[in-house]
Chains A and B, each alone.
Chain A
Amino acid sequence: MITNLLRVLALLIIVFSFTKAQGQQQSAGELHGNFQVDAQYYNKDSLIGAPVVPEKVLTNGFMNLWYTRGDFSAGIRYESYLNVMQGFDPRYRGTGVPFRFASYKNDNFEATVGNFYEQFGNGILLRAYEERGLGYDNAFEGVRVRYQPTRGVYLKGLIARQRTFFTLSPGIVRGFDAEVNLNELIYPNTVKKTIVVLGGGIVSRFQTDQDPIYNLPENVGAFDARLNVIRGKVNFLAEYGYKYNDPNATNGLIYAPGQALSVTTTYSTKGFGLLLAAKRLDNFDFRSDRTAAGIGANINFLPALTRQHTYNLPATIYPYATQPNGEMGFQAELSYKIKNGSLLGGKYGTEITVNFSGTNGIIKNPTSNDTLGYTSPFFKASNEMFFRDFHVEIHKKFNSKLKGTFMYLNWVYNKDVVQGLAGFGTIFADMAVVDISYKLAKRHTLRLETQALISKQDLGSWAMALLEYTYSPHWFVAVLDQFNYGNPNSDLQIHYVTGNAGYTNNGNRIMLQYGRQRAGIFCVGGVCRNVPASNGFSISLLSSF
């Protein structure tokens, strides 16, 4: 119904737009888009501390409309938060069209006005993106050009402000990036064994200084340099960033410069892979508003140097978050496939992944002038442990019907540092995951996932089980229980049970959910927010066209 309605609307827009096209024999272009609405009905649940929602029902709704015609493209995104669902930032309030753009592109030139997402290199200096599930969107609004003067040389430039909720953050961001693929430039017509790509960018933020107490820099500059060498099975990538004095809310208004370095080497061949990575961050929070805290107005992107887990307990109970004020980390991952037909490999082979990552703080020696902050030796980490993740993951297909994933994880998580709290200390946790799926018949699959988290600290131990039945390709139904059986407070040894059911067909998806979600305090950059517990019925509709 909704898709049909949208199609009619789309058609009307196209017809309306081109009735005046002067009889030229051109295609009318294409309109694509998607629509999503999430709604939840909130029940009272004093046991888990769910707040009373006066509206009873809260919804988040989105629609993207993207139009392309030849070299031209344009689009809008409408967003509606009536009122914004619990767990999202309440500054998403009301409705609007916060994203709209028009763009022209030919062989070597592209110009965009309006809103756009952009990334320089890996984003250490600049990255704008949307992560709807987190309510994160730092899209730029302004002008961007991309230009390829010759083969192998890619240039980008932008001047823009950034979206923060339904407004723009006060700073103006100017950025320029160049990337040179030496192979394409020097040997455009031959394939060389070694590929070398050099890159570099400059970003500067302007924000007026009206602070009566401090003399703040109005223009804050930063640059990065990148090197990527690929030879056969080896890929080496290094990126270094430097930021001039940028006193801001996250670093506590210090004038010290910031630095970031990230180095990754991978080796991969059939059945074997190795990844080694290291990084160092020092005072590298960079935003288009120096007073912004929490999420919002971020110019750059500093991902955690650890594996992003997808299994429920490792992904949600103690996830690590990058500490932009200073951290040093490493990651090593080895993946190996035991051959089919061998003793351990069995008929289908066995895949094993071993991963170890860790992050510590950096050493901060106070300076005589505390407005300058501190000095820090570049190649030394402090003894303060922020995070450790050691895990082994085994994928095994037993026969044509049965396959499984088995995982063991051992974590160290400094809750005080990662969440910006105090008094919780460091948490040691062991986790195990067993994920078995069994094909009952053609198109019918049953999957059972059991997980455990064993810890003596904080909220104690957890157990989790998920049973999912899929009738592919359209239907699925699942029940999930998170049980905090080890909570030191016996009243809080609660089952968080949710049931899900969904239907997917031709780019349309409807999902229903009923159950409880736990509460948590989330702190980012010195601002803490209580994401409340909830109990209720939710519905999610997604449609692409």
Chain B
Amino acid sequence: MKISISLYLALTIAAFSSCDKVEGPFGNTSSSNGGGDTTVQIIRKVLIEDFTGHTCGNCPRAAESLNQIENLYGNQVVAIAVHAGFFAEPTGTFFSTDYRTTIGNDLDVAFGNSAAGLPNGLINRKSYDGQTILQHTDWASKTSEWINLPPEASIRTTPTFDEGSRQLSISVKTTFLQQIDESLNIVYYLTEDSIQSAQKDYDLDAQYDPNYYHRHVLRGSINGAWGQVLGDGVSYTSGEELTTNVSYSIPANWNSSKVAVVAILYKTSNNEVVQVEETKIQ
């Protein structure tokens, strides 16, 4: 039994020696580059999709986490709030607005977010050790894994918006900075920022905020939930440039000064995001 005793000792020592006491400071002092000017310097951007609903009283906590991450990384993160599932259903007088979209519902069904319990989200739609759906307390660390990776492609979106006809035309130029030997899809979502309406919030005494700002709300898509295959769908060489032109009529009830187009380039095989770009249409 010599072996078992030494095994024992090893386990004991391992267990005893394993406790970190953090005495403070609790916050990390290092700060990131905060993103850069997209027109000059190409950087990798990270897509954070926050699945939420206006009657989900714990969801404002996720929005706060998202806001912290945006403060840290600036325009290096692109946020989308997907209102989906039971908690996004319109109900009563306060929560009568329906922020659900068919594409948001498609995403919700495909990734299983609302069924897994809200709030939660996706970071670059990647599966981390088998877990795609992530709690908001995990978003910052999963985002940080991407932040310093070199970009594989750049997306430049040039929108033209005619206020009279509310017609939006966009020219999207994708430039590859590295060789990619698999099929990629590109999809163009439309988001509207800072829509004011009620939101349940269990941290408030009133339990809801009648004038909550719903940030980055997913409103629609120019080419469906999953977009289309970019180029030949086989391989993309470094330096290759692909330009696409698309158009869309912005509904009258959207505040066009708050609308942005979010172009997402992702791997067809596993949905993992390669690059993302957000551009306001005005």
How far in angstroms is the closest Cβ of chain B from A333?
34
Asked if A527 and B14 sit within 8 Å, CB to CB, the answer is no
* Proximity string of chain A (55-91) to chain B, C-beta cutoff 8 Å, 1 when within and 0 when not: 0000000000000000000000000000000000111
- Whether A214 contacts B207 in the complex (CB less than 8 A), given A204-B15, A293-B135, A527-B119, comes out as no
Q: Is the interface of A mostly helix, strand, loop or mixed?
A: loop
Complex contacts, A155 vs chain B, CB 8 Å:
8
A316 at the interface (CB under 8 A from B): no
B side interface size, CB within 8 A: 59
How far in angstroms is the closest Cβ of chain A from B138?
4
Nearest-neighbor residue (CB-CB) of A248 within chain B: B137
Q: Which of B46-96 contact A (CB under 8 A)?
A: 56-58, 61, 68-69, 72-73, 85-87
* Proximity string of chain B (28-43) to chain A, C-beta cutoff 8 Å, 1 when within and 0 when not: 1000100000000000
Complex contacts, A247 vs chain B, CB 8 Å:
26
How long is the Cα–Cα vector from A494 to B3 in the complex, in angstroms?
Answer: 65
B234 at the interface (CB under 8 A from A): no
Asked if B140 and A211 sit within 8 Å, CB to CB, the answer is yes
* Proximity string of chain B (85-126) to chain A, C-beta cutoff 8 Å, 1 when within and 0 when not: 111000000000000000000000000101111111000000
Asked if B26 and A530 sit within 8 Å, CB to CB, the answer is no
Nearest-neighbor residue (CB-CB) of B26 within chain A: A371
How long is the Cα–Cα vector from A210 to B207 in the complex, in angstroms?
Answer: 33
A218 at the interface (CB under 8 A from B): yes
A509 at the interface (CB under 8 A from B): no
Asked if A527 and B202 sit within 8 Å, CB to CB, the answer is no
Complex contacts, B269 vs chain A, CB 8 Å:
none
Asked if B129 and A167 sit within 8 Å, CB to CB, the answer is yes
Complex contacts, A221 vs chain B, CB 8 Å:
18-20
Asked if B19 and A167 sit within 8 Å, CB to CB, the answer is no
**Cβ-defined partner of B58 (8 Å) among A93, A175, A253, A527:** A527
Nearest-neighbor residue (CB-CB) of B111 within chain A: A90
Asked if B5 and A528 sit within 8 Å, CB to CB, the answer is no
**Cβ-defined partner of A170 (8 Å) among B20, B129, B133, B207:** B129
**Cβ-defined partner of A212 (8 Å) among B19, B32, B200:** B32
Complex contacts, A422 vs chain B, CB 8 Å:
57, 200, 202, 207
Asked if A174 and B18 sit within 8 Å, CB to CB, the answer is yes
Asked if A109 and B135 sit within 8 Å, CB to CB, the answer is no
B130 at the interface (CB under 8 A from A): yes
- Whether A420 contacts B85 in the complex (CB less than 8 A), given A219-B18, A527-B118, A527-B120, comes out as no
How far in angstroms is the closest Cβ of chain A from B64?
11
Asked if A215 and B25 sit within 8 Å, CB to CB, the answer is yes
Asked if A89 and B116 sit within 8 Å, CB to CB, the answer is yes
- Whether A217 contacts B116 in the complex (CB less than 8 A), given A420-B58, A528-B56, comes out as no
Complex contacts, A164 vs chain B, CB 8 Å:
131
B141 at the interface (CB under 8 A from A): yes
Nearest-neighbor residue (CB-CB) of B31 within chain A: A212
Complex contacts, B118 vs chain A, CB 8 Å:
527-529
How long is the Cα–Cα vector from A176 to B21 in the complex, in angstroms?
Answer: 20
Nearest-neighbor residue (CB-CB) of B133 within chain A: A91
Asked if A149 and B5 sit within 8 Å, CB to CB, the answer is yes
How far in angstroms is the closest Cβ of chain A from B197?
18
B11 at the interface (CB under 8 A from A): yes
Asked if B141 and A90 sit within 8 Å, CB to CB, the answer is no
- Whether A420 contacts B86 in the complex (CB less than 8 A), given A91-B133, A290-B137, A528-B117, comes out as no
Nearest-neighbor residue (CB-CB) of B65 within chain A: A213
- Whether A217 contacts B21 in the complex (CB less than 8 A), given A145-B8, A157-B7, A209-B141, comes out as yes
B253 at the interface (CB under 8 A from A): no
How long is the Cα–Cα vector from A11 to B199 in the complex, in angstroms?
Answer: 61
* Proximity string of chain B (178-200) to chain A, C-beta cutoff 8 Å, 1 when within and 0 when not: 00000000000000000000001
6 nearest A-B residue pairs (beta carbon): A221-B19, A167-B130, A157-B11, A204-B18, A291-B138, A530-B86
Chosen A-B contacts, 11 in total, with CB atoms closer than 8 Å, are A90-B112, A91-B116, A145-B8, A204-B15, A210-B145, A249-B135, A524-B117, A526-B58, A528-B117, A529-B117, A530-B114
**Interface residues in chain A, defined as those with a beta carbon under 8 Å from any beta carbon in chain B:** 89-91, 93, 108-109, 111, 145, 147, 149, 155, 157-159, 164, 166-168, 170, 174-176, 202-204, 206, 209-221, 244-245, 247-249, 253, 255, 290-294, 369, 371, 420-423, 521, 523-524, 526-530, 532
